[in-house]
Amino acid sequence: MVGESSDRGGPFEHPRQQGGDAPSPRDDERPGLPKTEPGSMDLGGRGRLSDAESAAAPAERNAQPELSHRDRRELAEFHASLHAATPKTPVTYTIIALNVAVFGVMIARGVPFLSPTAQDMLPWGAGFGPLTMTGEWWRLLTQMFLHFGIIHLLFNMWIFKDAGQLVERWLGSTTFAALYLTSGLVGGVASLSVHPTSVTAGASGAVFGVIGALAGLLLVARHETPQHLASKLGSSLGSLLAINLAYGFMNQSVDMAAHGVGLLTGLACCLLVYRRDALHAPEHRASRAPLAVGAGAALVLALMSVLPWSVVHASDAIDAFAAAEDRAINAYNDGLRRAQAGELDDAAFAALVEADCLPEWRASRRDLIELDEGLPDSLAQRVDRLVDYATKRQAAWEALVEYGHTGDDAQVRLWAKLSRDADRLVASLGNADEDE
């Protein structure tokens, strides 16, 4: 009977989708420059700055002054340095491929294309506090490759593709991979601490870690970044963050904890791993990756110390109550069947209820009442509803037992009324689970 972000065998609240990021439109061609392939800029025969320019995305789409010869030269030289340091970006494309592949397999297995439910997501590894915090810590990793529908996936991958390629070329593939995973894991733990009873999924924490790293690079590498590019990137990042913040306040399904902490983690990791000779001595960059991993591990441990572990206790108590309820209801129904068949008289039926139903019921109800304070509101409300139901059912059975002892017909009427009240409460619990 007991029934997000689990929808376990009983969800607690609305699935909270990590996502809601606004997509970054691709760069339009610049006035006065020859048109090139999408997302790239022809630099007068000196090469293309596809990653850097397209990552500068959404803020400035209107006509802009033609670049000066000096700006063109700086962009071309910077582009050449990026590509010389990291000729290819395998990590970015691997991450995109994994996200798309996982989504494709889920759709092929029957998960809805547009709006999967929490029940749909949990078997695939979505995060959910009572499961994650009771040993399924791998969900912190797997949830980074799951998305609540095609729109959620496209938004995240659109933002990630260009920014990811630029940061990967700048920091190197090994360090970039460490930064991406670290940001996603730390963001996931932060989300778990804020939304422990929500089903969570999405790459947003890791993607915002990449955005944070890009912001960090604009700070620490400002002297080697062409001014034109730095200005464009800074403006675009500011717009992206402002839009995300505004949308997050309007849409409670957006996991702002994962976004914000992922962003700060990426920024912090970037400041730790950046080398001033990153583009000119790329062979040294991989040695900085352990710094990102170590920082991430420290942040994860720090956040785990403030996780709401009372959620685990509450989940255990709810599961125990559900099991006790099954046993008590089965015993009651079996006794009722025997009484209706004439195998038990009223007194014997009352004695059966008193011996086989009430003791464990009372103990489980008491455990629910004694749950620790400080539960998340949604879980506290669910526990309160369960206590109300358990109280009504217990009172109904106690009235039945009293009738068996005294033969007082008033107790039968009380038993019937309380039983109807309990049935209505259990029905409302089921409806609340569907709404959540």
CB 228 within 8 A of CB 71: yes
Read off the CATH number of the domain in which 149 is found: 1.20.1540.10
- Domain with 264, as residue range(s), is 50-304
Identify the domain boundary among 289, 304, 319: 304
Q: Are residues 287 and 321 in the same domain?
A: no
Which tens digit of pLDDT belongs to each residue from 320-347?
899 999 999 999 999 999 989 989 898 8
Question: What angle separates helix 150-171 from helix 90-108, to the nearest 10 degrees?
Answer: 160
* Residue 280: active-site member: no
In this predicted model, what pLDDT tens digit does every residue of 271-305 receive, in sequence order?
A: 888 877 565 566 666 777 788 888 888 888 888 87
Report if residue 20 sits inside a domain.
no
- Cis ω on the peptide bond leading into residue 5 (within 30° of 0)? yes
Residue 61, CA distances (Å) to 11, 332, 384, 424, 436 in order: 44, 71, 53, 58, 41
Number of other residues whose CB lies within 10 A of the CB of residue 424: 12
Judge whether 118 lies within some domain.
yes
In a domain, 352, yes or no: yes
Tokens of 269: 């990791």
- How far is residue 43's CA from residue 74's CA, in Å, rounded to a whole number? 10
pLDDT in tens, 360-413: 999 999 989 888 667 777 788 888 999 999 999 999 999 999 998 888 889 989
For the stretch 60-104, pLDDT in tens is: 444 455 667 776 777 777 778 778 878 899 999 999 999 999 999
Q: What is the DSSP secondary structure assignment for residue 353, as one 8-state letter?
A: I
Helical pair 377-406 and 358-369, crossing angle rounded to 10 deg: 150
Alpha helices in 122-255 (DSSP H): 129-132, 139-142, 150-171, 173-194, 204-220, 227-250
The model carries a pTM of: 0.70
DSSP three-state, residue 421: helix
When pLDDT is averaged across residues 348-357 and rounded to a whole number, the result is: 92
Domain count, the chain: 2
73 in a domain, yes or no? yes
Say whether both 87 and 223 belong to one domain. Answer: yes
* C-beta of residue 66 within 8 angstroms of C-beta of residue 34: no
The closest alpha carbon to 89, from 194, 184, 167, belongs to: 167
Query: Which of these three, 271, 287, 304, is where a domain ends?
Result: 304
Co-location of 407 and 429 in the same domain? yes
Report the DSSP beta bridge partners of residue 127.
Answer: 200
Token couple for 344 = 């038990």
pLDDT of 264 higher than 80? yes
pLDDT of residue 227: 76
Are 143 and 258 part of one and the same domain?
yes
C-alpha span between 157 and 174 (Å, rounded): 20
The pLDDT, as a whole number, for residue 381 is: 85
pLDDT digits (tens, 9 = 90+) for 217-258: 888 877 777 777 778 888 888 888 888 777 777 777 777 888
Is residue 284 flagged as an active site residue?
Answer: no
The residue from 5, 259, 364, 378 that is catalytic is 259
Claim to verify: residue 125 and residue 256 sit in the same structural domain: yes
Looking at the fold, whether 253 and 394 belong to one and the same domain comes out as: no
The answer on 314 and 299 residing in a single domain is no
Q: Is 48 helix (H, G, I), strand (E, B) or coil?
A: strand
Run of H or E including 144: none
Residue 185 and residue 233 in one domain: yes
- Check: CB of residue 22 under 8 Å from CB of residue 247: yes
**Tokens, residue 117:** 């439910």
Residue 17 lies in a domain: no
What per-residue confidence (pLDDT) applies to 22?
Answer: 37
Same domain flag for 316 and 240: no
Q: Tokens 């039983």 identify what position? A: 419
Say yes or no: 101 and 219 in one domain: yes
Please say whether the dihedral angle defined by the alpha carbons of residues 79, 84, 87 and 91, taken in this order, is positive or negative: negative
At position 222, the amino acid (one-letter code) is R
314 and 292 within one domain: no
The backbone torsions φ and ψ at residue 224, rounded to the nearest 5 degrees and listed phi first, read -105, 0
Spatial neighbors of 365 by CB under 8 A, at least 6 apart, are: 321, 387, 390, 391, 394
Q: Does residue 10 fall inside a structural domain?
A: no
How far apart are alpha carbons 210 and 181 in whole angstroms?
A: 10
> Quick check: is 13 in a domain?
no
Check residue 284 and give its pLDDT: 65
Candidate list 6, 40, 183, 204, residue with the active-site label:
204
Q: Measuring CA to CA, how many Å separate 216 from each of 17, 158, 266? A: 27, 21, 8
Q: Which amino acid appears at position 302 of this protein? A: A
Q: Residues 180, 186, 188, 194: is their CA dihedral positive or negative?
A: negative
Q: Which of 304, 331, 361 is the last residue of a domain?
A: 304
Answer yes or no: do 414 and 368 share one domain.
yes
- Assign residue 121 a region (left: φ > 0; alpha: ψ between -120 and 50; beta: otherwise): alpha
Between the CA atoms of 328, 331, 332 and 338, what dihedral angle is there, to the nearest 10 degrees?
Answer: 180
User: Rounded to the nearest 10 degrees, what angle do helices 256-273 and 173-194 cross at?
Assistant: 150
Which residues contact residue 149 at a Cβ distance below 8 angstroms, ignoring those fewer than 6 apart? 112, 113, 114, 115, 116
Backbone angles phi, psi at 432, to 5 degrees: -65, -40
Whether residue 21 is contained in a domain is answered as no
DSSP state of 374: -
